[in-house]
Amino acid sequence: MSEQKKYDVAVIGAGVVGALIARELSRSHIRIVWLERCNDVAQGTTKANSAIVHAGFDAKPHSVKARMNVDGNRLMGQVCEELHVPFHRNGSLVVAFTEEEVGTLKSLIARGQENGVPDLRLLSKEELHAMEPNLNADAPAALYAPTGGIVSPYELCIAAAENAVTNGAELRRNYEVKTIDTTEEGFLLSNGAEQIAASLVINAAGVYADKVARMIGDETFTIKPRRGEYLLLDMSMGGVVDKTIFQCPSPMGKGVLITPTVHGNVLIGPSAEDIEDKEDLDTTDAGLRSIQTAVKKSVPGFAIRDVITSFTGLRAHDDKDDFIIGASEANPRFVNVAGIESPGLTAAPAIAKYVARLVSAILDDPPKKADWNPIRPEPLRLREMTPAQRKALIAQNAAYGRIICRCETVSEGEILDAIHAPAGARDIDGVKRRTRAGMGRCQGGFCGTKVLEILSRELGLDPTQVTKFGGESRVLVGKTK
């Protein structure tokens, strides 16, 4: 064991929940260490989910989920504005396919109203089909929630991380917490090589939150990952729907959704399957087929082609069926933020505020920073600029004139920005999520080699050490003969 550093708070987990908590804590004079086992932030559930900002009519009234959902929805606009994250309140629809299901919609509206969701209403068949002409013509009605929205979850996480680090949080990637010892001053965390002391721990470890809680003897909950598979379709399929389309929940299941994404693609999914293995991110032929079949119920004429990619996400489902947010029964200075499954993304800004208040109370109200900066500067995006803006930018820095990713029009300057940002990209997927290089039709076929070269140059790594997403995910195994 080498050196040992001391902090007020250790946040475990750099998903969207951990990121927004770290950011919220950075408002105060608190020494924050933020630990992530992967090579980058946003590596768990955050990178693979429905990317939906839920209105809040789903959760049971008076549950933590319901409150955090509705509060989070309300906060999302401001957070995304401060962090310059793409967010669009496109509204959502829950579509009934039988007269019987219209009854279910009515009870959802009542539930939503009880939860405090504004402006919910039942659309008639005519209103529905005028709003979404591609929907199943037989659908008799739908619930319309104008406050529903779509957001880019990993960009929200990355932006919050950047902002947290800018405001003083110390992010440690590739630090997997293996043991936590309770000490007089608080806790001693270790990854097996280096110890970190913190007087308070926040457990935002996603599907591993139960494992982390066990380290201090908290056995009050268990996380069972629920696998969801998705298909992401090309922008050429965009426009098939404008709103996020849910299917009315039935005894047969929750159905699948079809939604535009903030980037103009179309997302369909998820399947739902409870599994044991917390690393099992495989897509399955059966799962992908099932969502393709199920989505036709909503949009019968939908010919699914131009699939860009398919992916699997794990929802951190807990056995309590509600978010678990609060001090552990085993130790009042150990705060669990666990079981954050859907609508966790929506709830994240509210969870962060709530947790920050808890922490503040435990640490006896540390003073606020006078110079706390809520703004994460907007990343420069060549593809979104007018010709005049492009001209000015390239004149200022020629690196923005060299296009690396041709499908998404991403310049070398943008990639350099992504690498050198606070909590910047360290691998090919990190560059992809920050800049969209490699996210287009060719999926990095052309730009992958160039991105690898830039990462190698900028991070001082041998090309064989550059990875797709950390660990052993190296792209090149050695030199040619």
Partner 1 sequence: MDYELIVIGGGPAGMAAALEASKNGVKQILILERAETLGGILVQCIHTGFGLHYFGEELSGPEYAGRFVVQVEENPDITVKPDTMVLDIVPGEGSHTVIAVNKADGLLELSCKAVVLAMGCRERPRGALNIAGSRPSGILSAGTAQKYVNLDGYMPGKEVVILGSGDIGLIMARRMTLEGAKVKMCCELMPYSSGLTRNIVQCLDDFGIPLKLSCTVIGVHGRERLEGVTIANVDENRRPIPGTEEYVPCDLLLLSVGLIPENELSRAAGVSMDRVTNGPVVGQDRETDIPGIFACGNVLHVHDLVDFVTLESQQAGKGAAAYIQKGTPAERTFIPTKGVNGVRYVVPQKVDKSAVEPVKLYFRVGEVHKNAQVRVRCGETELVKKRRPRLAPGEMEDLIVKPEQLASLPPNAVLTVEIVK
Residues at the contact surface with partner 1, assessed by CB under 8 A: 231-232, 279, 281-285, 287-288, 306-311, 382, 387, 390-391, 394-395, 398-399, 401-403, 406-407, 409, 411, 441-446, 448-449, 453, 463-464, 467-481
- Contact in structure between 453 and 459 (CB atoms under 8 Å): no
Pairing between β-strand 141-145 and β-strand 121-123 as defined by DSSP bridges: antiparallel
Query: Counting Cβ atoms within 10 Å, is residue 126 exposed (0-12), middle (13-18) or buried (19+)?
Result: exposed
Active site residue 84: no
Inter-CA distances, 169 with 9, 18, 115, Å: 10, 12, 34
In the complex, the smallest distance separating the C-beta of residue 441 from partner 1, rounded to whole angstroms, is: 7
Nearer to partner 1, 304 or 327 (CB): 304
User: Of the two residues 129 and 296, which places its CB atom closer to partner 1 in the complex?
Assistant: 296
Least separation, in Å, of the C-beta of 380 and partner 1? 14
**Letter for the amino acid at 209?**
A
DSSP state of 371: T
Q: In what order do the strands lie in the sheet with 149-151?
A: 52-53, 149-151, 87-88
Nearer to partner 1, 126 or 481 (CB): 481
Task: In whole angstroms, give the CA distance from residue 470 to residue 345.
Answer: 24
Tokens of residue 311, six digits? 């992916």
Give CA angle at 23 (80, 32), nearest 5°.
170
We find the least distance from the C-beta atom of residue 411 to partner 1, in angstroms, to be: 8
Minimal distance, residue 33 CB to partner 1, in Å? 26
CA proximity to 303, closest of 133, 134, 80? 134
Q: How far is the CB of 282 from partner 1 (least distance, A)?
A: 5
Beta strand extents in 134-178 (DSSP E only):
141-145, 149-151, 170-172
Residue 24: both structure tokens together: 């919220």
User: CA 224, CA 315: separation in Å to the nearest integer?
Assistant: 8
State which residue, 122 or 399, has the beta carbon closest to partner 1: 399
Can you read off the two tokens belonging to residue 66? 């319901």
Q: How far is the CB of 415 from partner 1 (least distance, A)?
A: 14
Catalytic residue among 29, 54, 62, 317: 54
Tell me how far, at minimum, the Cβ of 393 lies from partner 1, in Å.
Answer: 9
The pair of three-digit structure tokens given for residue 233, joined into one six-digit string: 């379709």
Nearer to partner 1, 287 or 339 (CB): 287
Q: Which of 357, 375, 350 is nearest to 54 (CA)?
A: 350
d(CA 411, CA 401): 6
Closer residue to partner 1 (CB): 39 or 166: 39
Measured from the CB atom, the residue of 60 and 441 that comes closer to partner 1 is 441
CA angle 341, 345, 350 (to 5 degrees): 105
User: Which residues form the catalytic set?
Assistant: 54
